[in-house]
Structure 1
Amino acid sequence: MVAEPSPALVELLRQLDRAAGRTETEASFADGHHRWSLYRAAMDTPGALPLLFEAVSLEPDGPLASGVVGDVLGRVPADERDRWVRILDPSVRAFSERRARELGVLESLRQGAVPADSVDDLIDGWSDWLQLRAVQAAADTAVLHVVSRKGRTKRIRQAAVEALRPPK
């Protein structure tokens, strides 16, 4: 069973609620589903990110905190990702650590900084999530050729083939 939110977290949730333009009742802060909904609204409110960071650092539900951080990582600059990952309890940190690394790979692919021969060596260690997004991010068609051959699923390989087709 997950512990109740601390008084400090409840105060942060009140502030976060106002910053995100919501009107939750304080009683709903005890429910993880309501906190998730509030956290999601805060993610879409750039000015609320500092409060969200503080709230997640106090979140007693590890998987909930991990889910929030996993979503936030794609919304913050690369140099802030490690800070967000470090607020998680080590027992729930692995997913967010991996997602932060994968986002870095996607940025490198967009910049054309990952040559196709490196992709050929690395792709087997990439998650399906990363392989599919690599198709959208790759600036180099040689990378798309690698994904079209070595993508883990038919869907991923087909997406790469489609991306290689000239626009109509």
Structure 2
Amino acid sequence: MKGTSSMAEAEPTDHLMQSLRQLETVLGRSTAPDYTDGHARWDLYRAATGVPKAHPILFRAISCERDSSLAAGVVGQLLERLAPEERNAWVHALDPAVRGFSVRRVQELDVLEAVTSGNLTAHEARTALDGWSDWLQLRVIVASEDKDILRLLSEVGRTRRIRNTALSSLS
């Protein structure tokens, strides 16, 4: 996949057009916009992220999307909706130049799932906390019932907002 400017206008390849038409069908869309416009593709992709049966077609489209920033944005929106074992395939479908955010988000989702399933102790969290983004710290607070982890975040969370939110969750 060649990296182009965000929402670049370019003639979609035949493979991409085939996937776009299939997405239209699955989503029940009857009018086909000009898909040389990245905004039109974004609209279709965004709608498809909410329809699990469209995901295999969306994967094919993302795999041949020429606008790598557009593809990365779609994958970023979709990662939380995917089963953990599916996420890496989507990330690897992206141009390596734009994978960074999605790689990080998969790692964060793995941590979040470990916390919510009880597979990450407060001690382990304390060790890893410096590497947690604000997003992850806030999501852990919302998702976790582990009082030790919440107490940890109330004491050493990165920002005042994180510490206060964790403290409120303890009440």
- Normalising TM by the smaller chain, what interval? over 0.9
Matched, 1:111 2:112: no
Deviation at 1:43, TM superposition (A): 0.9
Match of 2:164 in 1: 158
- Equivalent residue in structure 1 for 2:154, among 125, 138, 148: 148
> Letter of the aligned partner of 1:34 in structure 2?
A
Aligned length, in residue pairs: 164
Match of 1:56 in 2: 62
RMSD across aligned C-alpha pairs, in angstroms? 1.3
Q: Deviations over 1:84-125 (max 9, x none)?
A: 111001000111011011111111000111111111121111
Match of 2:129 in 1: 123
Matched, 1:6 2:13: yes
Q: TM-score, normalised by structure 2?
A: 0.91
Deviation at 1:26, TM superposition (A): 4.2
Deviation at 1:19, TM superposition (A): 0.8
Report % sequence identity: 48
Deviation at 1:22, TM superposition (A): 2.3
The structure showing larger relative contact order (alpha-carbon pairs under 8 Å, at least 6 residues apart) is 2
Q: Within 1, Cα distance between the matches of 2:108 and 2:28?
A: 32
Mark the runs of 5 or more structure 2 residues left unpaired by the alignment: none
Q: Within 2, Cα distance between the matches of 1:17 and 1:158?
A: 45
Task: Report if the CA contact (8 A) 1:151-1:157 is conserved.
Answer: yes
Q: TM-score, normalised by structure 1?
A: 0.92
Corresponding residue SS for 2:119: coil
Mark the runs of 5 or more structure 1 residues left unpaired by the alignment: none
Match of 1:17 in 2: 24
Taking a change above 3 Å as real, the CA distance of residues 24 and 64 of structure 1, as seen in their structure-2 partners, is farther
Matched, 1:70 2:71: no
